[in-house]
Amino acid sequence: MRPDTPAAHTAEAERLLRTAAQYPGDREPLLLQAAAHLELADDRPGATALYDDLLAGDPADPHLIRALKASNLWEYGHEAEARAIIEGLRRSRPEDAAPWRIAAETLEAHDELEAAERTLAEAAALLVTPGAELPHATRSLLAARHRVRRMLARDHDDWDALADRLHTGTVPLDELHDPKRLWSLGSSDPTELQAEIARLRSELGTYRTALSRPFPVAVLHWPERELTELLTAYPELETEYPTYRAHLTDIEASLRELAAAGTPNLGIVRATVPSYEAFAASESTHPSQAALLPQYATTLAARARATPWPPLRTDTCWCGTGRAYGECHGAE
């Protein structure tokens, strides 16, 4: 069965629900992932039921859940309810970029471009501090606003200029968000088609990243003591982790390579030997099997154990030295 079939998404949602029953402390992120799979399986009423289940309790991120619910509702004909949720979200003024962006992209997807622009402008006014380093989610919000304004043929303003400066892709945002560029898809000129392929590849890193939806693409970080314990118990894994210093270098290099390829929503998960052994037992696999490591990382990420990467340059580095990221692994 291909992993992108409705049946596969339904099966994955059921697996996540079973996992949520086993780990009630991780229930919220697991149910959000299950709801996303139900949406992909076109079981939108089922996804709405999960969002309502979460909102009936005391969720950690109610704004995000409401934004996801609104997006889902609009897709199967509940436009009035979705609009009401989005208006309530705007009035509540969340201090995280993800709910704002999901609400705005819901409006954009249904040709409500001016409403999307207003929503993104309100978010930018709330979240963007002049001169401050912006987290990735806020940068994505500015890129979304740039895209909407480009579609509306608006002149550049200061926030558009900031989005241009923050954009790290090889294709400029003005070209990436040009509504006319889709015309080139009808061209028979190989040069024009190659240029469009390059733009689409760049767009993967900026367009509809939806940070909240898939869990992060996460890399394992074994603290030094844990890594020593791991290799003592399972020396077969020494080929994966020759030294602790090499392990730290590989983490940063792998994440930078993924970022350069346009992969959004990256993270780091802290590994421990007891947790890894428990995971191996649940998979009926011996912990010495290196193929189990990426599955362990994915499971931790799905349980909301990932720390977003990259941190701000002034934040403490992920490696645990206590130094600022920009002076440690974030140094050029």
Q: What is the CATH number of the domain that holds 86?
A: 1.25.40
Provide DSSP, 90-120: HHH--SSHHHHHHHHHHHHHTT-HHHHHHHH
d(CA 151, CA 57): 39
pTM (2 d.p.): 0.64
For 101-153, how does the pLDDT look when each residue is reduced to its tens digit (9 = 90+)? 999 999 998 989 999 999 999 999 999 988 888 888 898 899 999 999 988 88
**pLDDT value at position 184?**
53
Residue 244 CA to residue 222 CA, distance in Å, equals 8
The model's pLDDT over 188-214, given as tens digits with 9 standing for 90+, comes to 667 766 666 666 565 554 444 433 445
Residue 210 lies in a domain: no
φ and ψ at 267, to 5 degrees? Answer: -160, 170
Q: Does the pLDDT of residue 183 top 60, yes or no?
A: no
Same structural domain, 222 and 190? no
The answer on 157 and 65 residing in a single domain is: yes
The reply to whether 173 and 245 lie within a common domain is: no
Number of domains in the chain: 2
C-alpha to C-alpha distance for 262 and 245, rounded to whole angstroms? 26
Same domain, 197 and 77: yes
Same domain flag for 153 and 262: no
Question: What is the per-residue pLDDT for 186?
Answer: 56
Inside any domain, residue 140: yes
Question: What's the one-letter identity of residue 205?
Answer: G
Please say whether the beta carbons of 331 and 319 come within 8 A: no
Cα end-to-end distance, the chain, whole Å: 44
> Is residue 239 assigned to a domain?
yes
Last residue in a domain, options 203, 231, 247 = 203
Domain closes at, from 203, 235, 261: 203
Taking only the tens place, the pLDDT of each residue in 48-65 is 999 999 999 999 899 999
User: How far is 133 from 129, CA to CA, in rounded Å?
Assistant: 8
Within a domain: residue 15? Answer: no
- Residue 320 in any domain: the answer is yes
Burial class (CB in 10 A: 0-12, 13-18, 19+), 190: exposed
Residue 128 sits in the same domain as residue 154:
yes
135 and 97, same structural domain?
yes
Amino acid at 126: L
- The answer to the question of residue 313 being in a domain is yes
2: tokens are 């291909």
Domain encompassing residue 197:
61-203
pLDDT of residue 180: 66
What is the four-CA torsion angle of 298, 242, 225, 247, rounded to 10 degrees? -50
Q: Which of 203, 225, 245 is the last residue of a domain?
A: 203
* Residues 256 and 320 both lie in one domain: yes
Identify whether 16 is part of a domain: no
172/245 same-domain check: no
Residue 7, in any domain of the structure: no
Instruction: Specify whether 92 is located in the same domain as 190.
Output: yes
Neighbouring CB atoms inside 10 A of 187's CB total: 12
Give the whole-angstrom CA distance, residue 44 versus residue 50.
10
